[in-house]
């Protein structure tokens, strides 16, 4: 071996034959390890695919282990949970929407009532779901729920509250339980080990912690919704609203004032042969910033708003100026997915990416289409209200001012008709009750403009 090494080294004018030998051995070891890992992964995926597609029963079981950590098993609750699942799977003539189901998660029962029992119910195939992360955003939550309840229509909401939140959304969520299925989770439900020591770490460490938790939540939420026979699902924040793109749809304002306008336009779009980006179970949508510093006149803000509502407290009504559609600072697109059409094998990863949850999603830098996401920055007070992990780095006064100054896209009132449509749908008294907390929050900004 040594003679061969020296010969090769001399033949190719290598100065250090011994180093060449070491490198050759390292390459050989690396190749063997890589081949071993590849074969192991292929075997694992093969076993997984056979198991995941064997039967409907196994598909449901695929979801369940992720919901109950081994360290918190409770025999009584597990037995009760298994009984509920057996009832579900044995009742072939019933759908999940026609039953009331209990699913054990971290030693407690997560319950939701049949959709058909809710007021303003819609057919299951028309109902949207949402996976929503919140943190001290009650001042935005009521408007966000009301808008998507009316336009999507949103009928199932899975909420994960950040453990650092100083406030709870429970009172607002309780107001909506009569009209939609609401599930509240904690970090234990998504198997996330919250490390409080990282709160004293760098911005980079805190941001990484936030993103890991976000991806775990989206993965668990998607598997949960698929296991319970839901369909279209959104993955937005509470400052983001799914709207109709007026540049692509000439009657967008008329549509947005009608209940369920999003699902109807979505079906129309998917039926068009040329709209190939909309034919799959995952659709990516462009976002546009709406300035939180450029105000409109009072008449413009209150235009076509029912007189018992204070329009200046609604972000969708107060902020009318937006960025240009070509500005890269709008950020990567976000997605909606029909979880019922996604194969279980695509959900084998515990974590789902924020902007492109599964690999079959189209590219996440789209800039056109019949839909868009309105991203409302709000005032600096609103923007800095929560103790965001990115404070001081990605989120600061300079970034807010830079984004709020992007108003070259002009003003728009395309989204405005939703509020009158919502009031007409639920009635004046009920609307006043559901929207009473819109725009009300506590100050979290010091006099010098820095986040406390």
**Cβ contacts of 163 within 8 Å, gap of 6 or more:** 186, 187, 194
Does residue 403 lie in a domain region? Answer: yes
DSSP string, 58-77: HHHHHHGGGGS-GGG--HHH
User: From CA 23, how far away is CA 423, in angstroms rounded?
Assistant: 73
Residue 313 CB-density burial (10 A; 0-12 exposed, 13-18 middle, 19+ buried):
middle
Measure the CA dihedral 295/300/305/307, to 10°: 90
DSSP string, 149-217: HHHS-EEEEEEEE-TT-SS--HHHHHHHTTTSEEEEE-GGGGT----GGGGGS-HHHHHHHHHHHHHHH
The secondary structure of residue 362, as a DSSP letter, is P
pLDDT band at residue 37, thresholds of 50, 70 and 90? Answer: low
Q: Which residue has the higher pLDDT, 404 or 152?
A: 152
The pLDDT of residue 386 is above 80: no
pLDDT digits (tens, 9 = 90+) for 17-35: 455 455 566 667 666 766 6
Same domain (yes/no): 76, 147:
no
User: How many CA atoms, within 13 angstroms, populate the side-chain half-sphere of residue 133?
Assistant: 22
% of the chain exceeding 90 in pLDDT: 47
Same domain (yes/no): 46, 97:
no
The pLDDT of residue 257 is above 50: yes
Same domain (yes/no): 248, 335:
yes
What is the chain's mean pLDDT, rounded? 77
Same domain (yes/no): 182, 100:
no
**Strand bridging mode 108-112 / 101-105:** antiparallel
Residues in a beta bridge with 283:
336
% of the chain exceeding 70 in pLDDT: 67
The pLDDT of residue 446 is above 70: no
Q: Could you tell me the two tokens for 200?
A: 């004293």
Final residue of a structural domain among 87, 112, 137: 112
Does residue 119 lie in a domain region? Answer: no
The pLDDT of residue 421 is above 90: yes
Does residue 274 lie in a domain region? Answer: yes
3-state SS, residue 204: helix
User: From CA 182, how far away is CA 205, in angstroms rounded?
Assistant: 31
Does residue 246 lie in a domain region? Answer: yes
pLDDT band at residue 442, thresholds of 50, 70 and 90? Answer: low
User: From CA 80, how far away is CA 62, in angstroms rounded?
Assistant: 18
Same domain (yes/no): 169, 94:
no
For the chain, give the longest Cα–Cα distance.
Answer: 94
The pLDDT of residue 245 is above 90: yes
Same domain (yes/no): 68, 175:
no
DSSP string, 73-90: --HHHHHHHHHHHHHHHH
Same domain (yes/no): 220, 173:
yes
**Cβ contacts of 360 within 8 Å, gap of 6 or more:** 280, 281, 282, 342, 346
pLDDT digits (tens, 9 = 90+) for 273-299: 888 888 899 999 999 999 999 999 999
Q: Give the E-state strand segments of 222-268 in sequence order.
A: 232-234, 240-244
The pLDDT of residue 15 is above 60: no
Same domain (yes/no): 184, 287:
yes
User: From CA 375, how far away is CA 388, in angstroms rounded?
Assistant: 17
Does residue 341 lie in a domain region? Answer: yes
pLDDT number for residue 215: 92
The pLDDT of residue 6 is above 70: no
pLDDT band at residue 338, thresholds of 50, 70 and 90? Answer: very high
Does residue 443 lie in a domain region? Answer: no
pLDDT digits (tens, 9 = 90+) for 162-204: 888 889 999 999 999 999 999 999 888 888 776 665 566 677 7
Residues in a beta bridge with 282:
337
Same domain (yes/no): 281, 185:
yes
pLDDT number for residue 326: 72
User: From CA 117, how far away is CA 251, in angstroms rounded?
Assistant: 33
Q: Look at the chain and report how many structural domains it folds into.
A: 3
Supply the CATH number for residue 349's domain. 3.90.550
Residues in a beta bridge with 102:
111
The pLDDT of residue 38 is above 90: no
pLDDT digits (tens, 9 = 90+) for 118-150: 789 899 999 999 999 999 999 999 999 999 999
User: From CA 452, how far away is CA 446, in angstroms rounded?
Assistant: 6
Does residue 264 lie in a domain region? Answer: yes
For residue 19, give its domain range: 2-52
**Cβ contacts of 111 within 8 Å, gap of 6 or more:** 100, 101, 102
**Whole-prediction pTM value?**
0.74
Same domain (yes/no): 368, 412:
yes
């Amino acid at each position: 071996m040594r003679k061969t090494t020296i010969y090769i080294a001399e033949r190719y004018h290598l100065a250090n034959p011994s180093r060449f030998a070491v490198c050759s051995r390292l390459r050989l070891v690396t190749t063997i390890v890589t081949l071993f890992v590849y074969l192991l992964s292929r075997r694992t995926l093969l076993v997984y695919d056979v198991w995941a597609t064997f039967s409907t029963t196994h598909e449901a079981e695929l979801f369940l282990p992720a919901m109950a950590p081994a360290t918190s098993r409770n025999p009584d609750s597990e037995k009760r949970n298994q009984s509920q699942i057996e009832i579900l799977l044995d009742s072939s003539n019933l759908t999940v929407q026609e039953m009331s189901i209990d699913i054990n998660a971290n030693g407690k029962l997560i319950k939701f009532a049949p959709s058909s029992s809710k007021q303003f119910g819609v057919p299951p195939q028309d109902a949207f779901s949402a996976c929503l992360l919140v943190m001290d955003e009650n001042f935005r939550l009521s408007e966000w729920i009301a808008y998507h309840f009316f336009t999507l229509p949103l009928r199932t909401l899975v909420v994960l509250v950040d453990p650092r939140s100083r406030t709870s959304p429970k009172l607002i969520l309780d107001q909506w339980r009569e009209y939609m299925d609401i599930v509240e989770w904690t970090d234990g439900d998504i198997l996330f080990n919250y490390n409080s020591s990282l709160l004293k770490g760098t911005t980079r460490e805190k941001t990484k912690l936030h993103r890991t938790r976000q991806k775990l939540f989206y993965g668990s939420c998607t598997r949960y919704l698929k296991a319970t026979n839901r369909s279209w699902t959104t993955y937005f924040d509470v400052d983001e609203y799914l709207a109709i793109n007026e540049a692509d749809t000439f009657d967008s304002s008329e549509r947005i004032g009608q209940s369920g306008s999003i699902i109807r336009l979505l079906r129309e779009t998917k039926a068009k042969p040329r709209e190939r980006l909309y034919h799959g179970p995952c659709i990516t949508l462009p976002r546009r910033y709406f300035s939180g510093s450029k105000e409109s006149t009072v008449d413009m803000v209150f235009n076509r708003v029912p007189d018992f509502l204070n329009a200046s407290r609604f972000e969708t009504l107060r902020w009318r100026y937006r960025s240009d559609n070509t500005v890269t600072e709008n950020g990567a697109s976000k997605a909606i997915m029909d979880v019922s059409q996604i194969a279980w094998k695509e959900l084998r990863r515990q974590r789902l990416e924020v902007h492109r949850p599964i690999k079959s999603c189209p590219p996440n830098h789209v800039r056109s289409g019949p839909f868009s996401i309105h991203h409302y920055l709000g005032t600096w007070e609103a923007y800095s209200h929560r103790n965001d992990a990115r404070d001081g780095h990605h989120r600061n006064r300079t970034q807010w001012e830079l984004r709020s100054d992007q108003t070259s896209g002009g003003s728009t009132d395309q989204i405005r008709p939703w509020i009158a449509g919502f009031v007409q749908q639920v009635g004046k008294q009920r609307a006043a009750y559901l929207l009473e907390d819109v725009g009300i929050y506590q100050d979290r900004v010091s006099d010098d403009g820095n986040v406390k």
